[in-house]
Amino acid sequence: MQKLTILPFLFCIIFTSCKDRPAKGLGLTSENKFFPCPETPNCVSSFENPSNERNFISPIKFFGGKEATILKLEKLIKKNPSAKIVEKKENYLRAEYTSSVFKFVDDIQFYFGQENTIHVKSASRVGRSDFGKNRERVREIEFALQQSAN
């Protein structure tokens, strides 16, 4: 009986101790690319090899000026109560999305590259599976950006 009460306690310690720490590999490499995704299915990145279907996601195309698109992206993120922008540089933006129930944090990064392209990486900080949430989030943002361009 005592073992059953220890398991939930350990679960809480493990998951709450990691959820507030930024994930490893945030930011850009010296080649202005994201660090590779871990070998888990809870990360997608437009810098992954396209043959890696589990982790690759196409970059987001945008139309119009870069500055106007960055402002639209910021507005989209700020409209979501579970999201907050935590880092912003000239061609780079990082936000955190926090789940409502367990308060797990996902990091999403945007890099404005060449030719009206936004490279993106979205990854969960803990766990192995995200049930496709990171991929879904990127596609929702892409759709919203395209709708705002019309």
- Read off the tokens for 75: 């507005």
Residue 121 contacts residue 27 (beta carbons within 8 Å): no
In a domain, 126, yes or no: yes
What pLDDT was estimated at residue 9? Answer: 44
What pLDDT was estimated at residue 6? Answer: 54
**CA of residue 24 relative to chain centroid, distance:** 13
Long-range Cβ contact pairs of 93-96 (< 8 A, separation 24 or more): 94/26, 94/27
Q: What is the CATH number of the domain that holds 61?
A: 3.30.310.80
Distance between CA atoms of 148 and 64, rounded to whole angstroms?
11
In a domain, 136, yes or no: yes
Distance between CA atoms of 44 and 122, rounded to whole angstroms?
5
State how many domains the chain has.
Answer: 1
In a domain, 4, yes or no: no
What pLDDT was estimated at residue 23? Answer: 60
What pLDDT was estimated at residue 17? Answer: 45
In a domain, 110, yes or no: yes
Range of the structural domain that residue 58 is part of = 29-149
In a domain, 1, yes or no: no
pTM: 0.84
In a domain, 120, yes or no: yes
What pLDDT was estimated at residue 27? Answer: 93
Instruction: Report strand pairing: 92-98 vs 83-89.
Output: antiparallel
* pLDDT tens-place values along the chain, 150 residues long: 555 555 454 444 444 444 556 666 799 999 999 999 998 999 999 999 999 999 999 999 998 899 999 999 999 999 999 999 999 999 999 999 999 888 999 999 999 988 899 999 999 999 888 899 999 999 999 999 998 866
